[in-house]
Structure 1
Amino acid sequence: MTQLLEILPKELKFIVEVKKQSSCSIQLTNNTYHNVAFKVKTTSPKKYSVRPNVGIVDPKSTFEFIVTMQAQKVAPDMVCRDKFLIQSTTVPVGTTEKDITPSMFAKDNGKHVEEVKMRVALISPPESPVLSPINGVLKQGPFFEPSVLKDPVENRVEILAPPQTELKLASDIEEVKSKLHVLESKLNEAEATISKLTEEKRRGNQEHKILREQLDVLRSRTSVKRVHTGFPLLFVAMTALISIMVGYLLHL
């Protein structure tokens, strides 16, 4: 299916100067032979204004709207997280801007609604003190406040990192991988050492048990031997005593 609207440029670029507004022109080209209604939404409605934020693009024609970034009191972060969404759908002939309602862009009953997300890029001002809007002089027209994106998860801003940041990030990832490999190797060595020490302890306990059993056997044998060797001595002593008593009685 042919894309309803061709949108140029592909991203919104704003020159950033403290306490000065900056504007960007967006051109919509209708690729079809039908009237196409569009609506512009943003994640930061208080920061931007759109002139107009809804409209009708005639068949095989172009339409231009202006996005203005409000003056900033302090220098913002140059990595901008803001985002725009352009919704479009075909409408009957004779439809005007006043006829455009939010329900026109509801995806129900098989209705075809196109959605194009646009990033915001902030650029530093040129060296020249005289600044002009990026895409020419702003056109005067009715002022409309942009709508707010209702689905923060689906339309969450995507951040584009500069090439230098990507290279540094890739280098940091490789360094972390290398450190993880070293730690994993050391962990494997520690596990092997623990396993070896556990086995040695088990063998030591087993040997200690065997030695105790052998010692108990030796002690038992020594005790029996003492009993056996002591009995003849007692017998001799008793015999001698009896002999002495008999001799004494014979001499009376």
Structure 2
Amino acid sequence: MAKILRDQTNGSTSDLTLLPSLLTAIFEAEPFVFNHQNLIGVAVVTMTVVANRLVSVHPEDLTFHFELEKHSYCDLKITNNTENHVAFKVKTTSPKKYFVRPNTGVIHPWDSSVIRVTLQAQREYPPVMQCKDKFLLQSTIVPPNVDVDQLPQDTFNKEGGRTIEERKLKVVYISPNSTPENLEDGYKPSFDTNPMHRRSASSDDNQALQHLKDERDAAVQKTKQLQKELEILKSQRSRKSDTGLSIRFALLVGLIGIVAGWLLNLLSSSSSTE
């Protein structure tokens, strides 16, 4: 049986397409009765073939409900298939077109992590709704109790001799009124019913709204400043007007004094003549 395993797999256990022929060869070479021990043996062989990846991804393609001038979302569930801590990183050929949150993380043994990929609002439809964008998921084993902020810069660098597992993900655009055939378990990336996910999905919209609020507050502050400057100008003009009135009043009083003095002199001269 061991020889058959080596012959069928050529020393490798990474090709799942060999599993049916492998099991057939085993049954033909060494027939046996199906009892629980034999079934366990078959399960072990199957697990050996399958468990060749550090992580699994669901769904395997990024599917977006494409609408003009609207954001679209797709959630990826990354599952750690090992008893080790695994770090992952997501890259794309169009970084200005997509937001990936988080794009890097560490998954505990047998745990999973959900990342959200956001397709930014587009102004035109792609030709025949075909997308050539690609995503690359990299994963590697890291020491336990390492936080994502503590990962070395060369964590996903193959030149250092580190084993990096890579998986390419395609991007699929569909119209909002259609239902893709390859969606499983009712998965609809553009219409998430989870409240926590909806809040996460609206983070970009909230940022845009906050930016508009900041601009509005800045405009209000500018308006208040202009109003204060206008009040200062009015006050200055009022003071200048009061100053001009005081000068005219002083001149009038002086003129009255001169006339009064002239009259007194005239009366005094008249009295002395008599």
2:161 maps to which residue?
110
Count of aligned positions: 142
1:5 maps to which residue?
55
Counterparts of residues 1-252 of structure 1 (less than 5 Å): 2-77=52-127, 78-126=129-177, 133-134=190-191, 136-137=193-194, 138=197
Conserved? CA contact 2:63–2:189, under 8 Å? no
Q: Which amino acid aligns with 2:55?
A: L
Question: RMSD over aligned Cα, in angstroms?
Answer: 2.6
- 1:102 deviates by 3.8
Change beyond 3 A, Cα 1:132–1:39: closer
- 1:30 deviates by 0.5
- 1:73 deviates by 1.3
- 1:76 deviates by 2.3
Report the structure number with the largest CA radius of gyration.
1
Higher relative contact order (CA 8 A, sep 6+): 1
What is the rounded CA distance, in whole Å, between the counterparts of 1:105 and 1:7 in structure 2? Answer: 18
Identity %: 41
What is the rounded CA distance, in whole Å, between the counterparts of 2:153 and 2:167 in structure 1? Answer: 16
Change beyond 3 A, Cα 1:8–1:53: same
What is the rounded CA distance, in whole Å, between the counterparts of 2:113 and 2:198 in structure 1? Answer: 12
What is the rounded CA distance, in whole Å, between the counterparts of 1:86 and 1:14 in structure 2? Answer: 18
What is the rounded CA distance, in whole Å, between the counterparts of 2:121 and 2:113 in structure 1? Answer: 26
What is the rounded CA distance, in whole Å, between the counterparts of 1:98 and 1:140 in structure 2? Answer: 24
What is the rounded CA distance, in whole Å, between the counterparts of 1:61 and 1:43 in structure 2? Answer: 28
Conserved? CA contact 1:7–1:28, under 8 Å? yes
What is the rounded CA distance, in whole Å, between the counterparts of 2:200 and 2:171 in structure 1? Answer: 23
Larger helix fraction of residues: 2
